[in-house]
Amino acid sequence: MTWSTADIPDLTGRRALVTGATSGLGYETALELLRHGAEVLVAARNPEKAARAAQQLERSSGHKPTVVELDLADLVSVEKAADELTKSYDRLDLLVNNAGVMAPPYRQTVDGFELQLGTNHLGHFALTGRLLPLLLKATAPRVVTVSSFVHKTVRGITQEDFRRPASSYRKWEAYGKSKLANLLFMLELDRRARAAGVNLLSAGAHPGYASTHLQAAGPEMAGQAFMVRFMGIGNRLFAQSAAAGAWPSLYAATVPELRPGSYVGPGFFEFRGRPKIVLPTQTAQDPELAGRLWEWSIEATGVNPELTVLR
């Protein structure tokens, strides 16, 4: 596949929300969407950092994004952001569920969930559910959920994982489960959208090994200076750029003929390179597990995504 960002169609008139858009994959995704004419809302929990990123995005693209304050580790913040968006806009054409945390020391969200599952999955589940009325008012709405090839390292997920205690916490296992949850959610959203007969396309993407701050964030939280340096060396030697890491997300977000439920990753052994359609694990494609996760997520967040067209 020879796809590049030059193949992104004109996005004038489309409104997109990208979570975690202050740096890394989210920033690069927002930048290309702006360059191709989309109205872009950048969602982030740090207002000062978001404002700086918005200025950089405007300088680089010539188009000014709008900042949305959002902390995915706080369900009240998710509700507030969704309410403000619903009051301010008549529709949302594209939602890119990109933000995430990777392998931090044990932490809990504001609501008491293990940080990675609480942020990477439950926060995005609640946000997507609350924004569905806006999405379903668009002509061709699309939700792109960013996962990771690390989802291949785990074989399942349970409701107990949401509130797993520190005593049994393994950071990479928890990260893998959060990325598995992203794919289970993406595919279940696709199944439910098709069953409801609504014109919503749900797709997934993963960046392969891309050089972003994500690799260093966990060691920084743990005060592990050596690991921060080690991750930095690994990024310089082996990783592709954040811009290249964003290609699968951009492909999933913009290719007109994309099939619903598609999962996009880098072409070279899913490690780096041009995007192509890749396959999730069998566990990620398990509809029974996805259905259970959907119900657990409703119980955890209090958000029940309604796939009903409201005109």
Rounded Cα distance between 176 and 116, Å, is 9
Residues with active-site annotation: 175
CB of 190 within 8 A of CB of 259? Answer: no
Closest of 136, 251, 272, 140 to residue 204, by C-alpha = 251
Instruction: List the structure tokens of 136.
Output: 């379903």
Full strand arrangement of the beta sheet holding 272-277: 66-69, 39-44, 15-19, 94-97, 142-146, 201-205, 263-268, 272-277
Q: CA 67 → CA 59, 92, 96, 151, 234, distances in Å?
A: 15, 15, 15, 30, 32
Closest of 248, 229, 250, 228 to residue 240, by C-alpha = 248
Instruction: List the structure tokens of 40.
Output: 């872009």
Q: Given CA atoms 51, 265, 107, 232 in this order, what sign does their dihedral have?
A: negative
Burial class (CB in 10 A: 0-12, 13-18, 19+), 308: exposed
